[in-house]
Each structure stands twice: as structure tokens, then as C-alpha cells.
């Protein structure tokens, strides 16, 4: 994983497949809102979705652990606000920050993310200058997330 060259545009950098480990609600039911059984409150709702699991890829592999400070807006838009750490196979840490949206109807939502990776480890510093676009799904019934990140 010590490739110091810039990835080419559209190159698959990683795939992660974590599981949801905890959901923290602040007065509104995430399940009811996501399944459209009840609308979000007028002020919107905040839900913290914790996740953890493997990261695989030719450029980046290890594990990911983090939280999405999800905002469920009154107009039905689900806004992602993700903070996580990737621990590479060689034990190094890479910070992941992403925003984006979750689209569609429960139980499977489509994810679209704008991702930034940051580290001070020289062998992984190639992640710092690149922009990453990621897409995937979250299966709310299974608590399973699948995301692929590509160099933009």
C-alpha cells in the first residue's frame, strides 16, 4: 500500500462493508421516518448511526469504524455527516470525513458521498490530495452498509 502515485480518475480505491453497531435517536424514530410510516418533525430529526467493518481494495484495505450524524430533514432528504477512522492492514490510521445524501425508500437506501481522507503516515499520504466520490447502499433491515470509493 505504499504507492505514492496519484490514482487515476474513476479508479476504485476501496470498498467497505461495515455493519450498523448502534443507532441513537433523539426523540424521533429513525425506523418510522425511514420507512415513511411517519414524517420527520418540522425541525427535522438527528440520528447517530455507528458502524464498523472491513475495508478492501487494491489501494486501501483494513477496517473502518465511525459514526454518521444523520439529519432527517422535514422535506424527506437524509443528509449524511460521516466521521470515521480507517485502520490499514499495517496498523496506520487514516481519518475519513464525508457528507452526502441517502436516497430512496426503506429498507434499502442509496448512498452518495463526497469523501476526504487525511493522514500523516508517509506511506499513505497519497490519500491527502485526492477527492473521493463514493456510492453504495444501506440495508436498514439487515444493518448492512456497502460503499465503493473512487478517485474523482
CATH number for the domain that contains residue 37: 2.40.160.20
pTM, full prediction: 0.93
DSSP letter string, 64-78: EEEEEEEEE-TTS-E
Domain for residue 1, yes or no?
Answer: no
- The answer to whether residue 2 is domain-embedded is no
Strands (E) located in 2-131: 12-16, 19-25, 45-56, 62-72, 78-88, 93-103, 108-118
3-state secondary structure of 124: helix
pLDDT the model gives residue 8: 94
- Angle (CA) 55 86 33, round 5°: 80
Residue 4 maps to a domain:
no
Cβ contact 34:104 at 8 Å: no
Interatomic CA distance for residues 112 and 15, integer angstroms: 14
In a domain, 45, yes or no: yes
What is the residue range of 114's domain?
Answer: 12-151
Task: With respect to residue 79, please indicate whether it lies within any of the assigned structural domains.
Answer: yes
Along the chain (152 residues), what's the average pLDDT of each consecutive run of 10 residues?
71 97 96 90 96 96 98 93 98 98 92 98 96 97 97 95
Asked if the structure places residue 124 within a domain, the reply is yes
pLDDT of residue 105: 84
Query: Alpha-carbon distance 34 to 104, whole Å?
Result: 9
5 in any annotated domain: no
- Residue 115 domain flag: yes
Number of domains in the chain: 1
Distance CA 152, CA 124 (A): 18
Exposed, middle or buried by CB within 10 Å (0-12, 13-18, 19+), for 13? buried
Amino acid at each position: 500500500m505504499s504507492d505514492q502515485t496519484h490514482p487515476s480518475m474513476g479508479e476504485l480505491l476501496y470498498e467497505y462493508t461495515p455493519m450498523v453497531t448502534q443507532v441513537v435517536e433523539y426523540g424521533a424514530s429513525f425506523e418510522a421516518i425511514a420507512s415513511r410510516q411517519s414524517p420527520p418533525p418540522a425541525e427535522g430529526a438527528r440520528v447517530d448511526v455507528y458502524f464498523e467493518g472491513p475495508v478492501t481494495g487494491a489501494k486501501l484495505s483494513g477496517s473502518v469504524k465511525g459514526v454518521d450524524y444523520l439529519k432527517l430533514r422535514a422535506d424527506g432528504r437524509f443528509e449524511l455527516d460521516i466521521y470515521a477512522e480507517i485502520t490499514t492492514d499495517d496498523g496506520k490510521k487514516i481519518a475519513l470525513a464525508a457528507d452526502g445524501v441517502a436516497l430512496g425508500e426503506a429498507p434499502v437506501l442509496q448512498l452518495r458521498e463526497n469523501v476526504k481522507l487525511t493522514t500523516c503516515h508517509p506511506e499513505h499520504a497519497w490519500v491527502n490530495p485526492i477527492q473521493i466520490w463514493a456510492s453504495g447502499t444501506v440495508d436498514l433491515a439487515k444493518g448492512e452498509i456497502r460503499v465503493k470509493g473512487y478517485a474523482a
